[in-house]
Amino acid sequence: MKVEKTNIEGLLIIQPDVFKDARGYFFESFSKKKYREIGITYDFVQDNISKSMKRTIRGLHYQVGEFAQGKLVSVIEGKVLDVAVDVRFGSPTFGKHEAVEVSSENKLQFWIPPGFAHGFAVISDEAIFHYKCTNLYSKQHERSIIYNDPEIGIDWGIENPIVSDKDLQSKRFNEIQQDFTYENLGELK
C-alpha cells in the first residue's frame, strides 16, 4: 500500500495494493495491523454507507468532545471530490482544506482524523460512499460548516448543487467554537 501525506498535517491519501486478473480485482480495504503501521492507531467502531446522486454535496460535518470522529473514507461505486477542512484552532493550516478525487476506479482512501470537518461532492451519475468511523454518531455532538463558505473557498466544481436543508442551516467558518486545539489532539487517541 502507498501512503501520501498531504499539505495538511494528519490527512493521508492511501492507495491500497490492488490485485487484478481476468476475474476482476481484490484488495484489502482495511487491516488494523497495516493501518497502525502508518500511524492510524484509532479503533474503528462504526461503518456508514451513503448513496447520492450527481451534484449532491454532503457536509461539511464533524463531531466534538467525547464523540469526536476520525474517518477513513472510500468510494464503492462512482466518483466524488472529498474535502477535509482543518478546524484545529492554533494549527498552522487552520481553515485550510484538502480536496481529493476518490473513486471506485482509483480505489483511493482518505484518512481524516478528529479535528477536521468533512464533506464530499458527487461528480459521477451517482456514488456509493463508505465511511469507517472511530466513534459512534451523536446528534448532540455533531457540528457543521456551510459548504460554500467564502472564507474556506472550496471549489466543488458543481453548479446548482443538491444540498440538504440541514446542511444549508450550517454555521459559517468564523462562527465555529474552539472545539479542537492543535496542541491537545493527542488526547483523543
Q: Looking at the DSSP assignment, which residues form a beta bridge with residue 116? A: 86
The pTM (predicted TM-score) of the whole model is 0.93
Q: What is the band of 185 on the pLDDT scale with cuts at 50, 70, 90?
A: low
pLDDT, one tens digit per residue, over 96-113 is 999 999 999 999 999 999
How far does CA 7 lie from the centroid of its chain?
15
Residue 61 falls in the annotated catalytic set = yes
Please tell me the predicted confidence (pLDDT) of residue 187: 45
**Is residue 189 predicted with pLDDT exceeding 80?**
no
Q: What is the band of 184 on the pLDDT scale with cuts at 50, 70, 90?
A: low
Residue 141 falls in the annotated catalytic set = no
pLDDT, one tens digit per residue, over 147-158 is 999 999 999 999
* 167 within 8 A of 187, measured Cβ to Cβ: no
Please tell me the predicted confidence (pLDDT) of residue 25: 81
Domains of the chain, with CATH numbers?
Answer: 2-181 (2.60.120.10)
Average pLDDT, integer, range 115-120: 98
Please tell me the predicted confidence (pLDDT) of residue 188: 45
User: Which of 35, 42, 61, 118 is flagged as catalytic?
Assistant: 61
**Is residue 59 predicted with pLDDT exceeding 60?**
yes
Output the CA torsion 121→91→115→86 (10° steps): -10
Average pLDDT, integer, range 39-44: 94
How far is the CA of 179 from the CAs of 64, 68, 75, 183, 184, in angstroms? Answer: 6, 9, 29, 12, 10
Percent over 90 (pLDDT), the chain:
87
User: Which of 35, 42, 62, 131 is flagged as catalytic?
Assistant: 131
| Three-class DSSP category at 2 | strand
